[in-house]
Amino acid sequence: MQTFTREQAGYREEIAGFQTGITSAPQLVVAATSADDVAAAVRLAAERDLPVSVQATGHGLRAPAEGVLISTRRMTGVTIDPDRAVARVEAGTTWGSVITAAAEHGLAPLSGSAPGVGVVGYTLGGGFGLLGRHFGPASDRVRSAEIVRPDGTRATGPIDAGIVTALEFDLVPVTTLYGGGLYFDTAKIPDVLRTWRDWTADLPDTVGTSVAMVPYPDLPMVPEPLRGKHIAHIRVAYLGTDGDELVAPLRALGPLQDTLTTMPFTDSGQIAAEPPHPHSYLGDNRVLPTLRDDVLTIVLDHAGPDAPIPPVLIIDLLGGAYQHSSTPDFTADSRYTVRALSLIEPDAATVRAAHAKLFAPLDPMSTGRLRSFVYGQPLG
C-alpha cells in the first residue's frame, strides 16, 4: 500500500483534483489500488484516531480533506455483463470509461454531462443524467455496493454505509441519441429563456434538456461566434428519430451556432460542452416546481448579462422519472433546477454574496436542492 506524508515527493500531485479552489493538507494520503488497501487505510486511521476522507477525481470537493485521505484514482476497473445489462466498477472509475466499455455491447450508463466525473461520487449525490427523465437517476439503478465500514471491515451494503470500493448498476439499451446545443447571442437571452420554458411544458420524458447563460471569455480557445459574449445555450439529449421536428421552435429563434445532430452515445459528453480543465469554482442550486415569469426575471436580474457578477446559470428540466424516484433529492414537485456556478473570482465571499442575492428570492418557492450541484462549499 503506497502512502504519502506531507514531506514526501508526490504528495501534492496525489491530492490534486478537478476542483482547485479547495486546498487540502491531510496528514497522510493512501494511494489505494484495491479494496484491501481501502480497508487497511480505514483501520490505520482508526488506530491513529484520525478522520477519513475519500477522493476520486476531485470534481465534487466541498471541504478540505482531513486525517487520512484515501485516493481511489488508481481503482479504475470496469466489467460489463452484457447478458444482465449490468456494469461493475471500482471506486475511482470515471463515466468516460464506462461509456466506452458499455458501448461495445450496445449499452449505455445513466451518466451526466461530463465524462471525467467519478461514477461513485456522482451516484452518491443522486446522479442527474442526460437520460434521467426517461430512466430515472443513477442512484435508483444501483444493484449492489461493496463497502468498507467505519470499523475497517468489508461488506456488501447500502452505498452510503461506508467507503464504496465497487459498485454494480444497471445499463440501458441506448447506442445513439439526438443531441447537442443551440447557442444564441446576448440580445436574444430573455426570449430564449421564455421560449425554452414554454417548449418544456409538455415534452415527452425521452427528452433531457437544459438552458444555460454563459459569459464566455475572450480567449482563442472559445469558438469565434461565442468568444467574449454572454450566450444562451440550450442543450438537448433526445431518444427519438424526429429530433429536427422536436427542436424546430427553438431553431426558429435563430442560433449563432447549432451542434444538434444524431450522435453515438459515446459522444454524449460533448452536449453540455463544459470545460474539461481543472479550475476553482463555487456552485449552488434550487429545485422549483414551476418556472414562472417572476422566476425568469429574478434569474435575469441576478445572473444575466447585466448582473454585477454573472455566474454560469443553468436551468435543467426535471420531471419525468425523477418525480417517481426513491432518491430524496427528487420529489413529485421536482420540475426545474436553477443552478449557479462561478469561478472563485475575485474571492469566495464576493461570489457567495452574489449567489445569495440570486437564491434568496427563490427560496420561498423552492422545494430543495440537488446535492450534486453544490460545489466548493459545505451542504449547509
**Cα 139 to Cα 158: distance, rounded to the nearest angstrom:** 11
Q: Rounded to whole angstroms, what are the CA distances from 11 to 4, 25, 91, 329, 369?
A: 5, 9, 20, 35, 34
Q: Which residue has the cell 411544458?
A: 201
Site for ligand FAD in 263-292 (CB under 6 A): 274
Residue 263 β-bridge partners? 177
Q: Quote the cell numbers at residue 167.
A: 459498485
Which residue among 24, 57, 93, 342 contacts ligand FAD (CB under 6 A)? 57
What distances in angstroms separate CA 127 from CA 8, 26, 164, 344, one per listed residue?
A: 36, 28, 16, 25
CB of 319 to ligand FAD, least distance (A): 16
| Cα-based torsion angle of the residue sequence 83, 85, 91, 97 in order, rounded to the nearest 10 degrees | 100
What is d(CA 45, CA 51) in angstroms, rounded to the nearest whole number? 6
Q: How many positions of this chain bind ligand FAD (CB under 6 A)?
A: 28
Q: Does 128 bind ligand FAD (CB under 6 A)?
A: yes
Residue in 15, 124, 237, 307 binding ligand FAD, rule: CB under 6 A: 124
Q: Exactly one of 26, 109, 121, 152 binds ligand FAD (CB under 6 A); which one?
A: 121
| Using rule CB under 6 A, residue 117 touches ligand FAD | yes
Rule CB under 6 A: choose which of 113, 325, 327, 342 binds ligand FAD. 113
Figure out which of the listed residues 30, 163, 174, 351 binds ligand FAD, where binding follows CB under 6 A: 163
CB of 353 to ligand FAD, least distance (A): 22
From the CB of 373, what's the least distance to ligand FAD, in Å?
A: 6
H helices, E strands: number in the chain? 10, 17
Q: Please tell me whether residue 91 binds ligand FAD under the rule CB under 6 A.
A: yes
Tell me which residue of 155, 159, 166 sits closest to 140, measured CA to CA. 159
Q: Which stretch binds ligand FAD (CB under 6 A): 21-29, 55-63, 262-270, 320-328?
A: 55-63
x/- contact string, 230-269, with ligand FAD (CB under 6 A)?
A: ----------------------------------------
Q: Which of residues 298 and 375 has its CB atom nearest to ligand FAD in the complex?
A: 375
Q: In what order do the strands lie in the sheet containing 163-170?
A: 78-81, 86-90, 163-170, 142-148, 154-156
Q: Cβ-count burial of 267 within 10 angstroms (0-12 exposed, 13-18 middle, 19+ buried)?
A: middle
Minimum CB distance to ligand FAD, residue 114 (Å): 4
| Closer Cβ to ligand FAD, 90 or 205, answer by number | 90
318 binds ligand FAD (CB under 6 A): no
Q: Which residues neighbour 301 within 8 Å (Cβ) at sequence distance 6 or greater? A: 307
Q: Phi/psi of residue 30, each to 5°?
A: -105, 120
296 binds ligand FAD (CB under 6 A): no
Binding-site ranges for ligand FAD (CB under 6 A): 17-18, 54-61, 72, 91, 112-114, 117-118, 120-122, 124-125, 127-128, 163-164, 274, 372
